Amino acid sequence: MTMQEKTVFITGASSGIGKATARLLVKSGHKVALTARSKDKLEALVNELGNENAFAVAADATNFDELKNAVDKTIEHYGKLDAAFANAGKGVSKAGTEEGDPDEWAQMIDININALLWTAKLTLPHLRKSQGHFLLTSSAAGRTSIKGSIYGATKWFAYGFGRNLAEEMKEWKGRCTTICPGMVNTPFFDEDKEDKLQPDDVAEAVLYAINANPRNSVREVYLMPAY
């Protein structure tokens, strides 16, 4: 099957998994629309990837109006949307329910849950037109029980939402993929360890799902370090 060029909208695109995914998609012949809060980082990435391949709009994914503007500008620029990758997310500095910080919880829920919902709501009307693809970053932590992990609970939501959304999108031949990585070597984690996955590993999973034959809905990709 000859690969068809696709336009992909990515949240959390200025660093880590989002940045690696943008690079790999462009290298593989796709176009990307990038959004994150850091305008400077986005502009630098667009310059690296080339204006003909990448377009960016700075936005806070937890702000519905800002995210809507980013999606609208993407449609104005490219004229269509084939895939969206809801990747923006964060953790907390203190684990545990008693020891946790409610303000951190609120911020994390905003980005890990609300921003995911906003991204789906805003992109689905465009994906419906292209019989497109929605992808999201959950976590290995969203597939297992971890003592006192509020972060893991938010990723359980993402995991369940992705499975439900896949059934919803199936009605119009859309596809939904939930990406579930273990620990990834990104600024998300304080420690830099060699035994983590790399952002490029997750980017490869995204590309695999997007490039699959349209008859093949890759519902989930679960990644763990091999050693």
* 151 is known as an active-site residue: yes
With tokens 């292209």, the residue in question is 130
* 78, 151, 159, 227: the active-site residue: 151
Q: From 166, 211, 151, select the one nearest 25 (Cα to Cα).
A: 211
For strands 31-35 and 220-223, give the pairing.
unpaired
Beta carbons within 8 Å of 211's beta carbon, 6+ residues apart:
3, 28
First to last CA, the chain: 34
What would the two tokens of residue 157 be?
């939501």
Amino acid at 205: A
Amino acid at 117: L
Sign of the dihedral through C-alpha 48, 51, 52, 53: positive
With tokens 């938010």, the residue in question is 154
CA distance 25 to 41: 18
Q: What is the CA radius of gyration of the chain?
A: 17
Q: Which residues on adjacent β-strands are paired with residue 181?
A: 223
**Residues known to be catalytic:** 151
